[in-house]
Amino acid sequence: MNNLYGTQFNISHIEPATHIYGPGRRFAVWLQGCSLACKGCWNEQMWSFKANELLDRKNLLAQILAEQDIEGITLLGGEPLDQAENTVWLIQEIKRLSSLTVMLYTGYSKQEVEQKQLWSTIEDSVDLLVSGRYQEQHRNTNNQWYGSENQELIYPQKSSIEQRSKLQNEVEIIIEETGEVRVLGYPT
Ligand code: SF4
């Protein structure tokens, strides 16, 4: 499934400054729509491909580049590679125009990414890939950055993110000035 909305991303949620999806302070984007339907998925509300918030990829790029003091971006969902053309465009532009690192979550395995002929792009432009379906029976809440043991953390050769061993899972609580409270991550 690809580019249902032309050059517009279908977005579920944006957090312009989070600390738990990858190293450092990051701009995180949850994309709306996932065709993989993993049993036990925590983000079932992000499966639908119905337009949620449509945002042109150039506008999203501008928002990211305008954000101060971030180390990188993290794309998750939903399934970023179900909007592959826009996702690839965005990460290539980020690499071309900035020194931000790119972390990408996908439910597709490395082999499936290769079959989609996306591997060379990902190898070139992504610093850390979290790859593979969420498997409920292999859930482990002690892992940092991934939810089930079968998922792979892949640091491509050109990665600027330092490789880490498994660390404790983290949860982030954001309290806005308006009093709105958001919990990010997966509390046990
Ligand atoms: S790939 Fe991710 S968003 Fe999609 S069903 Fe699996 S866990 Fe959920």
Which pLDDT value is given to residue 187?
61
- How buried is 103 (Cβ within 10 angstroms: 0-12 exposed, 13-18 middle, 19+ buried)? buried
Which pLDDT value is given to residue 175?
76
Average pLDDT of each block of 10 consecutive residues along the chain (188 residues)? Answer: 87 95 95 96 95 98 97 96 97 98 97 96 96 87 79 91 70 77 70
Any residues with CB less than 8 A from the CB of 162 and at least 6 apart, and which?
Answer: 23
Domains delineated in the chain: 8-185 (3.20.20.70)
77 lines ligand 1 (CB under 6 A): yes
48 lines ligand 1 (CB under 6 A): no
Question: At 171, phi and psi to the nearest 5?
Answer: -125, 145
Q: How far is CA 87 from CA 56, 94, 171, in A?
A: 12, 11, 26
Which pLDDT value is given to residue 40?
92
Which pLDDT value is given to residue 18?
95
65 lines ligand 1 (CB under 6 A): no
Which pLDDT value is given to residue 39?
94
183 lines ligand 1 (CB under 6 A): no
| Cα 57 to ligand 1 centre (Å) | 22
Work out the number of other CB atoms within 10 angstroms of the CB of residue 141. 11
36 lines ligand 1 (CB under 6 A): yes
Which pLDDT value is given to residue 188?
56
| Cα 136 to ligand 1 centre (Å) | 11
